Structure 1
Amino acid sequence: MDAIYSLFFVCYAAGFLLVAFLWRWYLLPIGAGLLLLLWWTIRGVFNEDSPGVIIAAPMVGLAFLGVLAGLLAALIVLSTRKFARRWASPMVILPATFFTVPVFVFGLFFWQQANLKAHRAPPSASCLTRLHPVVLGGTALTLPLAPAFSVGQGREYDPSYPLDVNEKAREFCAKTSAGPIKITNLTARLTPDYTRHLTVRRSAFCASVKPYGWWHDLCRREHDDNPPSDYPREVSFYVLGEYNSRKMHAFSSDELERLKVDGLTAEELGRGVRRFGDGHYSYFTRRDVPGYLARCYATGPMKTDLACVAGYRLTSRIGIIYEFLTPADTFAEKSASFDQRARQVFDSLK
């Protein structure tokens, strides 16, 4: 290990000495050209997929830093020649620059890393364990700090608090610590995508069993588990008139009022479910849920499944939208199950 550190020091010193004595203005482009060459080399080294990169990358990087420090030293020497001061002597400038530049660069690096670590720090233990009071459309809810939730207070994107982002989770904790806050929308992603699956599993919320019916689906269910989950993949609740669901979700709880079903072919599926087709999309209504509309399209290898988004008014002030996947031939039964589970998510937070 000492030999490696010595090699790194030699790379830095060699880069420094190559240009530190270019004490003519017309020679400085040589140092600048060498700096650009090393920068190009660094980019090439980091694009390599080889174990040798572990050693080569620091070597080239330190040589680049040495050339940068040497070029800076040469510039200072040339700029201070007219000053007849002891501090302007090359005997002072060269050692000072040789040691100051790496101290400054590495100090800046570690300061940045410390800030980044603080930025990504998880919420406090009390924040993770307590329930957070919010008010959605006049309904009081208490939210756990679940990575599935995203809370919003605006009409569109901001301000929003995706609770799987530590910084946003800490901000949300700080806001709710003083009492209930008013929110305009709440989204629960109960089936995390593959890129977030392990992160969700390792979260503090999933570390121990929680008294929510949807906890198992979020924290324990695998993507290929059978039977498939009865919970929607994503469910959103929002305050009518205070959140632009059509822009944010390309759907709304009042979609049935906008759809002109009179000109579409209707088909009775039983259980009070009607299907309307217009080609690419199929639309479904339920007699037992006033205002219910599901918009679906065929998916899967054989186009036998339906990917759907459904919505309606949950209360006079709150709309609900949720996404689910179901076999086309069992839509009547499955849609009722998904709707019940979506409502249970809301009821579990009261």
Structure 2
Amino acid sequence: MKTSIIPIFIPHIGCPYRCVFCNQWRITGHQGVPRAASVAAQIARYTEGVQEQRHWEVAFYGGSFTAIPAALQEELLAPAKEALDQGRIAAIRCSTRPDCITPETLQRLSQYGLTIVELGVQSMDAVVLNKAKRGHSADDVVRATCLLRSAGFTVGHQLMPGLPGEDRASLVRTTAAICRLKPDLARIYPVAVIDGTELAESYKQGDYRPLSIHEGVQRAAYMKQRFLETGIPVIRTGLQATCDLDDPSQVLGGAYTPAMGELVDTKRYQKQLFSVLDTVADQVMAIACNRHDISRTRGYHKVTVKRAALRYKRSFTWQEDNGLPEGTIAVRTANREYHIETSAGTVQCKNTEG
């Protein structure tokens, strides 16, 4: 069944700090404080008249939901809980800060039927967190994750590669720390420099060099691959496109592109495919994949097809084979077949003679 999100944006509400990268009004395209009536109206707008069955989830995005006053939390949750009890939606989720999780807060969320909490982790490096003015520590992430898990919540982590102070070693350490915590899901948002933020001023003054799109793709691909190999689903890579984010006067630099997710998967698949092609002694007859993996395997705008032809001085036959599981690339020679399990990062080889 298809999962569909009903977004309720609460930009900057409850945030005790203003992070250097943050301008939630630009990121979400929403301003103002929602009330119970607007939550009820949003649920009705999304669900009424839809014929096909869907797994509807109400999601409170944009701010630090558990940091806003308890009375406002309950007001906003009440219409969502009513819709949940009536069977019109299937789940309720929210995003919040790691230092705004307490047993009392979790009891309230549970009472209103909320089961999924995503933490704005961003980094597990103390230097990076300090430069970003996050106001929380890596230890807060560990503590909040443990509290959520012990209370039976589904736990999500949101990461932001490319913040000031991050280098390759920092990225690797953060990735390893998240893999050890093993949240139930993750999102990866390479940094975009958004006008109206402190980071934008640092960029204009030459004090901060943002990631290029290419660098953002490389870092996000590294994180996503490690997460998948650890069994952590990555449900989004890159910011959701909005009119503001697509306006070059609002996004001044950094690793923002509406195609970030496609580019990251292209990078992951291409790296694994080329690592096999580099070592196969037999002449490769074909490269095959399930139809759902065609764009990832052949690459965004067929960039992998083009690079393979240049790298190996020949054109390969690219096949659709729906007998292959999703996420598997088959490299076929006259006598052998190599199966690349892209999420696991493993390769299996079998003889095909006779």
Decide which structure has greater helix share: 1
Q: TM-score range by the shorter chain?
A: under 0.3
Per the normalisation by structure 1, the TM-score is: 0.23
Q: TM-score, normalised by structure 2?
A: 0.23
